Amino acid sequence: MHSTMHKLLTLLFIVSAVSAAGNTCKTGNIVNRLVNSKPYYWPSTWNETQTTPHLAKEQSCSWIVTIPNGYYAKLSISGKTTDKDSRFQTIDAVGNFIHIFFKTTHEGMEPYYFPPTKFTLAVSNEAVAQFAFKIEWFPLPRTTRINFIGEETDLINATNHLYCESYGGNGGITLLPLPINRTNYYSLRSTLVFQGHDTDNGIYISNLFLLYQTKKLYINTYDIVVANLEASNKQDLLLIQEAQNINNVTYVELIPEPHSNVTVTVNSHKTQEALLIAYQVNQTLVDVQMDASSTVTVYYGSPGGFSFDQTYNKTALISALPLQFNNFGGVTELFVKAKATFTFEYFVSIYLQSKMFFLLLAIVSTVSAAGNTCKTGNIVNRLVNSQPYYWPTTWNENQTTPSLAKDQTCSWIVTVPKGYYAKLSISGKTTDKDSRFQIIDSAGNLMQTSTEGMQPYYFPPAKFTLAVSNKAAATIISPQTLMVTVPTEITSYNSVGPQGTLINATNSLYYRTYYAPQGVSLLAFPVSTTSYYSLRSTLVYQGSSLDGTYISNLYSLYQTNNQWISKDDTIVLVNLEASENSDLLLIQEALRIKDITFTELIPTVNSKVSVTVNSTKKKTALVAAYQVKQTLTDVQMDTAAYVTIYYGSLDPYNFYKNFTKTQFQEVLPMNFDNSGGNVYEFYVYNGKATFTFQF
């Protein structure tokens, strides 16, 4: 390091040669921030809209760029060299080098970012080259949030939005960048790391670009600040963990390969290694080769008691195969004792699996005279006059539902043009346990039912499939499909704060976006927990418009019995048809609740309701969101358990109080008034608790 720095410093003070075959330059140029905050260009006659000018051969040049406190500098280089010895170099205020070799390739204006107080740009070339650059100064962001990292870890999108947040944890903090592209990860340059709690007084460490190049876990025993200075469109991830249990761990990353099997070996014979599964995809462990003495311990998060899942020996793990790991919203870590080789399988996509399922349904149907018959593979396109499509064609919703002959297997593939959604209403009833209606939407979500009373389903582009399979002749079915244009104007843009947002999900038409830096959590509270068809009209997309990725409807998400968490920081909610129901939707920041399983408090008027929350194996919380008043009259808890109550989402801002069993008995009864949009969350730790409420 000292030798390299000496060479560079020597380079900075060599007088440059002048050539007529292009621009010439010298060492020791001092560049200060312009008082009008305009960019600095070199050459001064060039800007980024022009062709990159030539640099004469045998130039040695340097620029020392000063950066005032409270600002950062953004450097963009346009350059190309044609010989192996020419290079550009930057060195920041703490001595981090970036060596740039452009052997016949361009530096394509991908920016570099530097904190106070200065950085140096040096150029040395043999042959004629192309070279120009631009420098801009901007105010550094201030810390907007302080985070404490526990066993659950924090997996954030490092580069696709602006943020400046502080992180602390037991034993310090570790960082591991996971770029979306492992050969072109320039976007990591925009994310700076400081030791301390803010960018003004903190000690600058490095950027994620350089930390990633070390191929090691970055560990700091103090609190840190991570600040992303410019948003990209990349899905680069950053894994943030507390350091106390992983100081000496070497992570082996599982890197997904679509359409392929991936094999990776973890060898802990000399140092502790662990397999890290962090990229947000589904993967299935299909094979493992282990030493006889090996064990594999699975943690859903950083290693610790709360995140511990199970320890497998060779026999137990092979018996458990295949094992699926769904990483959406978190990480999985496999700690290996001795040595193990894992093979993971990656499916093409959920949608292709659904097509395979449909092919199983594509059997030629048996024809019967005791009712209508049908076939598979019917294609239904939107009618040019926008009239509804009926089956049978002689039926409409004002008539009695006709019979379907026994032993029918039928399917309709309904295409949905861009800019439209399809509304499907089914009138049907089956009379035997094996008959059913099945619907698959364009995202691969499967909905099954045996009785339908014309409660609609709603489908976005590009298609959905309706399949019917019946045994008994008493089955009756009549589908009706209507194409309607989707809304085109977003009605509101919303940021989700620490308090969370509670909306009426279905009683009005809307097209809204919701933003939270580390993802958005959705949890539905239908007015009826047994008949919640109205949730079908509310569609969920990832992205900032209906051109984003369709995920599902609230009806299907509610059936998972847990919160849904987005992979991106922005989602779209669109409700396509207003109902008279007061179905609620709780929208929260995902930051602190990614690994929480929520139990909903469902009121029963003029009655007592008891609900048990069990956190012995996974983090669980009781959430009260229905807009009624309730009184907590009794709490039964494990001896070691305690409960933390938040007036809103899990955030220090909303913290109310911790209670042991004894402390609860001293304050009961407790009144909780949810009217007016209030939400209460009860987090149980170290065991289980049973709450009794009076409504």
- Give 600-632 pLDDT, tens digit per residue: 999 887 789 999 999 988 899 999 999 888 999
Regarding predicted confidence, which is higher, 367 or 403?
Answer: 403
- Closest to 130 in 3D by CA, of 56, 230, 32, 19: 56
pLDDT-derived band at 368 (thresholds 50, 70, 90) equals very low
Residue 556 has pLDDT above 60, yes or no: yes
pLDDT-derived band at 13 (thresholds 50, 70, 90) equals very low
Q: Which amino acid type is present at position 590? A: A
Cα–Cα distance for residue pair 272/246, rounded to 1 Å: 9
Q: Are strands 501-504 and 584-589 parallel, antiparallel or unpaired?
A: antiparallel
* Structural domains in the chain, sorted by start: 2-139 (2.60.120.290), 145-242 (2.60.120), 250-345 (2.60.120.380), 350-485 (2.60.120.290), 492-589 (2.60.120.290), 597-694 (2.60.120.340)
Residue 152 has pLDDT above 50, yes or no: yes
Q: Which amino acid type is present at position 16? A: S
- Retrieve residue 152's tokens: 């659950």
**Can you give the pLDDT at residue 434?**
67
pLDDT-derived band at 11 (thresholds 50, 70, 90) equals very low
Q: What are phi and psi of 367, to 5 degrees?
A: -90, 135
Cα–Cα distance for residue pair 53/165, rounded to 1 Å: 40
Mean pLDDT of 574-588: 92
Mean pLDDT of 314-340: 87
Residue 349 has pLDDT above 60, yes or no: no
- Closest to 537 in 3D by CA, of 515, 555, 512: 555
Cα–Cα distance for residue pair 480/483, rounded to 1 Å: 10
- Give 188-217 pLDDT, tens digit per residue: 999 999 999 889 889 999 999 999 999 999
**Are 138 and 71 in contact, with CB atoms under 8 Å apart?**
yes
- Closest to 594 in 3D by CA, of 621, 633, 571: 621
The DSSP result for 467-485, as a single string, is EEE--STT-EEEEEEEEEE
Residue 430 has pLDDT above 80, yes or no: no
Residue 561 has pLDDT above 70, yes or no: yes
Instruction: Give the CA count within 13 Å in the CB-facing half-sphere of 660.
Output: 4
- 3-class DSSP state for residue 121? strand
pLDDT-derived band at 102 (thresholds 50, 70, 90) equals very low
Residue 118 has pLDDT above 80, yes or no: yes
Mean pLDDT of 295-310: 87
Mean pLDDT of all residues in the chain? 84
**Are 59 and 123 in contact, with CB atoms under 8 Å apart?**
yes
- Retrieve residue 243's tokens: 């350091």
**Can you give the pLDDT at residue 388?**
86
Q: Residue 358 belongs to what H/E stretch?
A: helix 350-361
Mean pLDDT of 150-169: 87
**Can you give the pLDDT at residue 436?**
72
**Residue labelled with tokens 């992983």:** 246
Regarding predicted confidence, which is higher, 9 or 75?
Answer: 75
Q: Which amino acid type is present at position 526? A: P
Q: Residue 487 belongs to what H/E stretch?
A: none
Mean pLDDT of 540-559: 93
Reading phi first (left if > 0) and then psi (alpha if -120 to 50, else beta), residue 536 is in alpha
**Are 442 and 417 in contact, with CB atoms under 8 Å apart?**
no
- Give 497-526 pLDDT, tens digit per residue: 888 899 999 999 999 999 998 899 999 999
Signed CA dihedral, 48, 49, 50, 51: sign only: positive
**Can you give the pLDDT at residue 485?**
73
- The set of residues, in sequence order, having a beta carbon less than 8 Å from that of 690 and lying 6+ positions away, is 610, 611, 612, 613, 635, 636, 637
CA end-to-end span of the chain: 70
Q: Residue 610 belongs to what H/E stretch?
A: strand 608-614
- Give 625-640 pLDDT, tens digit per residue: 998 889 999 999 999 9
**Can you give the pLDDT at residue 479?**
61
Residue 6 has pLDDT above 50, yes or no: no
**Can you give the pLDDT at residue 4?**
43
pLDDT-derived band at 677 (thresholds 50, 70, 90) equals confident
DSSP annotation of 628 reads S
Residue 666 has pLDDT above 60, yes or no: yes
Residue 106 has pLDDT above 70, yes or no: no
**Can you give the pLDDT at residue 437?**
75
- Give 440-449 pLDDT, tens digit per residue: 888 888 887 7
pLDDT-derived band at 325 (thresholds 50, 70, 90) equals confident
**Are 331 and 625 in contact, with CB atoms under 8 Å apart?**
no
Regarding predicted confidence, which is higher, 220 or 498?
Answer: 220
Residue 353 has pLDDT above 60, yes or no: no
Question: Edge-to-edge, what's the strand order for the sheet holding 538-542?
Answer: 492-495, 510-515, 570-575, 538-542, 549-553
221 C-beta neighbours (distance < 10 Å), count: 11
- 3-class DSSP state for residue 313? strand
What's this model's pTM, rounded to 2 decimal places? 0.52
**Are 121 and 79 in contact, with CB atoms under 8 Å apart?**
no
